[in-house]
């Protein structure tokens, strides 16, 4: 009905995910005095007076971030929460609250949503987080989960990407690459299954990496450990795309070179 | 690959939107002492010591909440923000920050996202709100926007759905039904267009109701007006599904009967 005023068509793939976000929000100047940190870190920081509130949003889209042919729905709910909490811990904060938005097509029955929410409630219990809001909507196809996590960061404890400096030590928690290896196993067994549905998936012996992929945990323990040791990290980042990619983010934000 | 443990299939339509949300989150007991208000109002309230932070999430899904054959993308971005801010104002608070999650399929070029973000930035400017975070993801089909709004509510100023009492007066701001009438015009002209693409849409004379539908405003002014008059409302709610539906919510939450 309406002609587009904008006949130019640049494919999103030309910019890539990070390029795209940079491009779209580069004009977002902040105006409020309590916006302590906006776009560009694991979470934003809002100044509440005697502490900060960290806030972060992530989307998980069917067919892009997860494949329901091998991801159990309860695990999916659990993981959706955990990946968001991880962004709060990556600011050296304590995650406290989440809101959940789920869009589903009518191919999902109520029981499927119940399984997802079982995982969400379980993650909330394990991480001592309250579910405080949400929205459920119809979608025309597929499943999409959007979670926003908020948490408390004490003033002076915040660990931004920009904080890294000379002679700092890079420390990695967990086993980088484990989740990726788990994904390879699942994708391999999916191909075997598609070619011969009578074959049973061979998952034995791979429990550890499968769990890293299907039911990862966020490193709340690291925040507690650092606090217990009275260690203030200069900088922190949540690893999601791999060590080299995250080191580049830290380097760009802090203006520091890294040796690995 | 994995057999579902849950062979029962209840269509989501059996419960309806509100029934579904009630059903899924009824087991969400809150654990944290700073969770002042959780699921079930326009926004949740987090106790920050000397004030509350209100937080609310909404999803807008293509083909369900909007039809791109007549909704300009910039208007869509603007409206996505405004409907979320409205939830914060409906707690008698001041909206301050938003995070934005957008999932798009590759049928949308970068320029389409730019138009959406133009509307988002414009709404942020008009309502004095900062965009502090976001996520952009691929989707397999269609466009989905998830926005979380947060804001500040002074202690004692909060207006919950449960606050209505005997002899309170019901007051409605704005013209109920205007946006719905605008939608009828747009749907009518879409049908005309589909049957005869040479016809020009007849939208003249309907500017007011079309604007209510395509580019609504949130009633920040009401919160300011009430504050200026030193009036503390006992209860507030954002009208989205119509007066009767919202009165039912207020009645259910406050245990009060209403005369209209």
Question: What's B238's domain CATH number?
Answer: 3.30.1330.10
User: Beta partners for B53?
Assistant: B46, B152
Q: Which pLDDT score is estimated for A17? A: 64
Q: Read off the DSSP letter of residue A37.
A: E
The answer to whether residues B60 and B144 touch, using CB atoms and an 8 Å cutoff, is yes
Query: A8 contacts in B (CB within 8 Å)?
Result: 109, 111
Better-scored residue on pLDDT, A86 or A27 = A86
Q: Which pLDDT score is estimated for A193? A: 78
Model confidence band, residue A6 (pLDDT cutoffs 50, 70, 90): low
Q: Is B61's CB within 8 Å of A109's CB? A: no
**Mutant choice from A25, A128, A146 vs B, greatest count of B C-beta within 10 A:** A146
Q: Which pLDDT score is estimated for A48? A: 96
Position A3 pLDDT exceeds 60: no
- The pLDDT averaged over each successive group of 10 residues in chain B (260 residues) is 61 70 75 92 93 94 83 91 95 96 86 90 95 85 91 95 89 83 80 79 79 85 92 90 86 88
Position A10 pLDDT exceeds 70: yes
Q: Which pLDDT score is estimated for B132? A: 94
Q: Which pLDDT score is estimated for B130? A: 96
Q: Is B99's CB within 8 Å of A148's CB? A: yes
Position A4 pLDDT exceeds 90: no
> Is A183 part of a structural domain of the chain?
no
On whether any CB of chain A is under 8 Å from the CB of B141, the answer is yes
The answer to whether residues A100 and A145 touch, using CB atoms and an 8 Å cutoff, is yes
On whether any CB of chain A is under 8 Å from the CB of B198, the answer is no
Chain Cα centroid distance, residue B46: 19
Strands A44-47 vs A51-61: parallel, antiparallel or unpaired:
antiparallel
> Is B44 part of a structural domain of the chain?
yes
> Is A253 part of a structural domain of the chain?
no
Q: Is A97's CB within 8 Å of B43's CB? A: no
> Is B87 part of a structural domain of the chain?
yes
Q: Which domain holds residue A232?
A: 34-174+219-242
**How does pLDDT run across A39-77, given as a tens digit for each residue?**
888 899 999 999 999 999 999 988 888 888 778 899 999
Using left for φ > 0, alpha for ψ between -120 and 50, and beta otherwise, residue B92 falls in left
> Is B131 part of a structural domain of the chain?
yes
> Is A213 part of a structural domain of the chain?
no
**How far, in Å, CA of B191 to CA of A177, rounded?**
53
Retrieve residue B15's tokens. Answer: 């419960």
Q: Is B110's CB within 8 Å of A11's CB? A: yes
Widest pairwise Cα distance in chain A: 64
**How far, in Å, CA of A45 to CA of A36, rounded?**
5
> Is A258 part of a structural domain of the chain?
no
**How does pLDDT run across A111-157, given as a tens digit for each residue?**
888 899 999 999 999 999 999 998 888 887 788 999 999 999 999 99
Position A1 pLDDT exceeds 60: no
Q: Which pLDDT score is estimated for B5? A: 53
**How does pLDDT run across B176-224, given as a tens digit for each residue?**
887 888 788 788 878 887 888 777 777 778 888 888 888 888 989 999 9
> Is B42 part of a structural domain of the chain?
yes
Q: Is A8's CB within 8 Å of B134's CB? A: no
Model confidence band, residue A18 (pLDDT cutoffs 50, 70, 90): low
Q: Which pLDDT score is estimated for B174? A: 81
Helix ranges, chain B (H): 16-25, 73-89, 110-126, 178-195, 207-214, 220-228, 243-254
**How far, in Å, CA of A116 to CA of A74, rounded?**
5
Q: Which pLDDT score is estimated for B245? A: 86
Q: Which pLDDT score is estimated for B155? A: 96
Run of H or E residues at B104:
strand B94-104
**How does pLDDT run across A224-235, given as a tens digit for each residue?**
999 999 999 999
Q: Which pLDDT score is estimated for A69? A: 78
> How many structural domains comprise chain B?
1
Position A205 pLDDT exceeds 90: no
Task: Compute the radius of gyration of chain B from its Cα atoms.
Answer: 20
């Amino acid at each position: 009905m309406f002609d587009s005023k904008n006949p130019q068509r640049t494919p999103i793939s030309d910019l890539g995910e990070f390029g795209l976000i940079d491009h779209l929000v580069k004009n977002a100047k902040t105006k409020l005095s309590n916006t302590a940190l906006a776009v560009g870190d694991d979470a934003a920081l809002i100044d509440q007076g005697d502490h900060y509130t960290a806030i972060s949003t992530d989307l998980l889209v069917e067919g892009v971030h997860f494949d329901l042919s091998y991801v159990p729905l309860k695990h999916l709910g659990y993981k959706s929460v955990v990946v968001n909490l991880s962004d709060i811990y990556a600011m050296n904060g304590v995650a406290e609250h989440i809101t959940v938005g789920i869009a589903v097509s009518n191919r999902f029955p109520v029981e499927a949503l119940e399984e997802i929410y079982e995982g969400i409630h379980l993650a909330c219990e394990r991480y001592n987080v309250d579910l405080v809001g949400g929205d459920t909507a119809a979608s025309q196809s597929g499943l999409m989960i959007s979670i926003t996590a908020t948490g408390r960061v004490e003033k002076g404890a915040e660990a931004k990407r920009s904080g890294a400096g000379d002679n700092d030590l890079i420390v990695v928690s967990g086993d980088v690459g484990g989740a990726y290896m788990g994904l390879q196993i699942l994708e391999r067994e999916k191909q075997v299954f598609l070619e011969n549905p009578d074959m049973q998936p061979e998952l034995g012996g791979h429990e550890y990496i499968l769990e890293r992929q299907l039911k990862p945990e966020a490193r709340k323990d690291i925040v507690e450990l650092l606090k217990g040791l009275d260690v203030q990290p200069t900088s922190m980042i949540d690893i999601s795309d791999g060590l080299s990619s995250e080191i580049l983010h830290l380097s760009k934000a802090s203006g520091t070179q890294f040796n690995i």
